[in-house]
Structure 1
């Protein structure tokens, strides 16, 4: 999402959307069929009980179903993280940023009327309910009430200054969550009327630009409504969205983008399919690709095709192979940019990749997607925020040696892109980052197809649901990912027999499992272990995973360091300089104050040290875990324009540079860091010394 992409006209749209007025409305209202508010009852039951609405034929069955919004609440360190978000920009953005302030078009005002209000709500809404915060609920409710109380006569909804399909796709996701939380009977009629209008309007006014690239996000809401109403027109609309939307599966089947993409240069060069080239910026846009990760699995619910369902794995392999980074993400600053860890990733891309993985995990049942989700959530997501979440980056770099007003190695983004601030480079991430943590909470546990319950992603939480007709409360206590032990206590209202599935992470070299102190057989890494039994109030499950620090090969024979779900990085001493005040927050440049160009030997030995998880879970000042390892300086590895040069391949350490003890921190803790280290040439092995860096 960029103001520098000449092929999308984004800024032109933003300027125009506030001034078009009623002239943008389509003439000839399409009258939607009447929708009985009583159809909300299945959703009401789900909201009250924490059980998902069952799948409805002919939609394909899926192995897991996400629980309704509100069924899972954060606890422990995760609740503290969400409280930090609520105390920062997440809870106060409307007080300091006009785009979601009282003049927002999504409140009936003349201000920004496109995607930013819906983006903001897509995270604010679940955050408010997960923290049971009355002030945050009231903020969200104002937007919700205006939207529900001001539909257009023809079935359209939202600000009348534009009729673009795309921002409504985001607001539909908001409304589905809101209905699950509240059972508000106004939601289903509005969605029914809108989809009926859209079904009639799309043939003459088809999807384009952002809507064409992001059709699968609306398909989620269409299928959500179909499961509650059974309206056959919704399946017609689903097919139309698929037909008009961009075919991501076909693009990745023969993936053409195998190096850093300079859109302007490729456009100037010409060649290829005219339509494809016209939309080239859309095809290689990181956020579009992040959203597209769920496109094939979601469409498989309609098509019933295993090929569609499984296409996500090939798509992820292509991204890893040609653009993968050590933090679990792919480079996109903001177009695909290769594997150099000095390239960046847009924050919108991070949170949208997480959401796509959460959706795809339920549909495919593949635990490897949960492994990837944890890597991103526990590294890339917090790594792009200040500790207090009052400032964020647009682009983060795994090898980030400076955050300043330099051009850097990206092709389309500007010099503000990796500053920490209110809206560095462009404001889409300011509006959209809010969904990251709350939607992770919503995906920690899922219902199983056989009527059981499954632990998908590990973090401290409580769950309130119904299993086999029995109300069930689950308490999960853990300091995961900083520790490898998880304790789960079940509180069924009465004894109940059901299957409980527990994911064994793919990185686990071993696992231990017990129920009420009695050892149980576990499973291989990368699979689910199933416990089928009668569960009684107070039954306690203890689960532990074995891991060891591991060097993972990467770009130019570099290595990154992982231990469990955490990626580790060398912290660089940081000098923070305020660039400008931005209302309640500020924009910051960060300069390095220590040496960063270090390499690791092939025979590196790591020592792990643990401390209590502090009030700021990912803080560099009180890190919950550190790794110590010996390394040596690589004098030939330098920086230009505030960015580290590509990692040198197998450099020889300078003989004059003695070995040093390095202290590595979890990736998200330092804001200046080295994550991909050059692997030193043979003969450069370190030897014990007392020097210490980190």
Structure 2
């Protein structure tokens, strides 16, 4: 029997580490409880969930990922409110009379985790203004937000913000605030049902409802979730006999005498809706306890890949589903929303293949949509993008500004919403396991502070992945503790290697996760090696694209940047080609590694290059867009040459899908 007043060494170490853990995430002015230190899994009423995201703030970026987040913070990600009135001091989400719909919540949904991951007082203060106004100005009936609209949709985004904020700060106002709102909504929805965006995006709110239910077990929350699903669009049913197998006919969403864009005809093929809906079946499976619901995401992804898939891991959607031609685009909002949906689904399903998809999108499509300094972005990006100018393009329904780089090209939703991409990826790198273990779900350099079976633990993950093949993980529990560590084995790796303190652990290609269960002590080291082959993938019209691991490679086209107009602290740009791009490509050749620079995806300093045999062929552009890849192009009267490809994101003008070089 021990003296409860004088803890032993183990208790002292645990208490010290808990103190350090709590001090890492400061409690804000409205908080009366400590921030969360452990993941909260769904209670028994709901389906078991194999993984769970760690509480917001548990993971901080390191290495190249930290540099990337700093680039975001120093660019539009941290300063857009200083130059864009829609997020300025007159925002309706700050009590003003300016934009009062989705843009304030969108902005804070990414700014909040970015601020804490970089421990930036300035960014925390910016985020805190929006949150404080929201919490301190509820409507008398339980509704919240600007009184100039009562749309359910923007509240769904702000609820995501509040769940993160509560985990970061322990603010005791959040749980009762959300409870009052959900009780109000349960009573109001029968008379004022979901419509347009909210009807299509109901699953985002259900995720927040389940977050709260896991903490309060309030039965009214499950009633509300069921009502939202009943009023919401049935995404799973859409894919049973998938009807959208061709590029969307613009006439379908521009019908006369009705606003078809805002009805099912337009909304069910809207790229961002489709991206957000990827989480619908997994999220609902927690309530339905249905294995079919949990697995449905794989069928949905297969259908999207088959009929609309692009080599950057996304599907086309410019603004609506657009077929497989790599000259079609995908909206930046869809990129970050697909990532968030997949991160949510990975936690719910435990399916490693979703981690592969997250990485392909995050390391290619996400950074490609920005200038290297992140002071300008595109609304639409194209895998085969040979000009960014005010031409009409082959878009389904978007306008001529859609692939310019700028402050708010075409429409401002992406200017407000892109902020969540990198921070939420960072928050998803490691996850808690239902059995008390931890899982490495996605790979990038980071530092983790969390708990494993009641013991505080720090994890250092050092790597230049995806630019390199090796990852080193050092575990530092406050005291020795036995628990499983699950390590995702990328599906593309044919010979994964796992070592613990120098001893080899059996790891089979295609296994999804390898589990190492042992007693861990401070300083234990896991070494991973995921050697990657260059793979030639066949796509639209038998075109070929090249990947190595999680990276997609593109031919960079010479770029002439022409300032179109000044936009406060930034500019809008058109980009014109200065070199030939109409090449067919053959077998890949040598891979060369270079230093990972301060801007990791910058085209001027690529971390890796790939040589490919090529030859000019008859292939042209019209209205600034490359024609669809020709299946059998005639060769030009030019010799064979060696093409130097770079990671996709580094080439702002590029060819990613090539006609296959005739042998």
- For normalisation by structure 1, the TM-score amounts to 0.90
Correspondence for 2:489 = 504
Equivalent pair of 2:615/2:638 in contact (CA under 8 Å)? yes
Q: Secondary structure at the match of 1:606?
A: strand
Which of residues 537, 546, 555 in structure 2 aligns to 1:561? 546
Correspondence for 2:276 = 291
Question: 1:109-160: CA deviations, max 9, x gaps?
Answer: 0000000000000000000000000000000001000000000000000001
d(CA) in 1 for partners of 2:115, 2:217? 31
1:219 Cα deviation from its structure 2 partner: 0.3
Equivalent pair of 1:263/1:280 in contact (CA under 8 Å)? no
1:605–1:117 Cα change, 3 Å: closer
> Matched residue pairs, number?
634
1:262 Cα deviation from its structure 2 partner: 2.0
Correspondence for 1:36 = none
d(CA) in 1 for partners of 2:469, 2:31? 38
1:621 Cα deviation from its structure 2 partner: 1.0
Correspondence for 2:320 = 335
d(CA) in 1 for partners of 2:646, 2:211? 41
Correspondence for 1:223 = 210
d(CA) in 2 for partners of 1:149, 1:593? 54
Question: 1:87-124: CA deviations, max 9, x gaps?
Answer: 00000011000101000000000000000000000000
Correspondence for 1:8 = none
**Unaligned segments of structure 2, at least 5 residues:** 1-29
Correspondence for 2:588 = 605
Equivalent pair of 2:378/2:403 in contact (CA under 8 Å)? yes
Which of residues 359, 371, 388 in structure 2 aligns to 1:386? 371
**Unaligned segments of structure 1, at least 5 residues:** 1-40, 683-694
Correspondence for 1:687 = none
Which of residues 624, 640, 647 in structure 1 aligns to 2:607? 624
Correspondence for 1:640 = 622
Structural RMSD (CA): 1.7
Q: Secondary structure at the match of 1:451?
A: coil
Correspondence for 2:164 = 177
Does residue 658 of structure 1 match 2:643?
Answer: no
Correspondence for 2:228 = 241
d(CA) in 2 for partners of 1:544, 1:195? 47
Correspondence for 1:302 = 287
Correspondence for 1:35 = none
Q: Secondary structure at the match of 2:487?
A: strand
Correspondence for 1:65 = 52
Which of residues 326, 340, 359 in structure 2 aligns to 1:374? 359
1:431 Cα deviation from its structure 2 partner: 0.2
Equivalent pair of 2:31/2:173 in contact (CA under 8 Å)? no
Correspondence for 1:464 = 449
1:278 Cα deviation from its structure 2 partner: 3.9
Q: Secondary structure at the match of 2:496?
A: strand
Equivalent pair of 1:43/1:179 in contact (CA under 8 Å)? no
d(CA) in 1 for partners of 2:444, 2:550? 11
1:246 Cα deviation from its structure 2 partner: 0.3
Correspondence for 2:26 = none
d(CA) in 1 for partners of 2:130, 2:162? 11
Correspondence for 2:119 = 132
Q: Secondary structure at the match of 1:437?
A: helix
Does residue 550 of structure 1 match 2:531?
Answer: no
d(CA) in 2 for partners of 1:167, 1:48? 26
d(CA) in 1 for partners of 2:433, 2:81? 38
d(CA) in 1 for partners of 2:326, 2:445? 31
Which of residues 415, 432, 441 in structure 2 aligns to 1:430? 415
d(CA) in 2 for partners of 1:549, 1:186? 52
1:517 Cα deviation from its structure 2 partner: 1.4
Which of residues 229, 242, 245 in structure 2 aligns to 1:255? 242
1:269 Cα deviation from its structure 2 partner: 9.7
Equivalent pair of 2:41/2:434 in contact (CA under 8 Å)? no
Q: Secondary structure at the match of 1:608?
A: strand
1:605 Cα deviation from its structure 2 partner: 3.5
1:263 Cα deviation from its structure 2 partner: 3.7
Correspondence for 1:579 = 564
- For normalisation by structure 2, the TM-score amounts to 0.94
Correspondence for 1:188 = 175
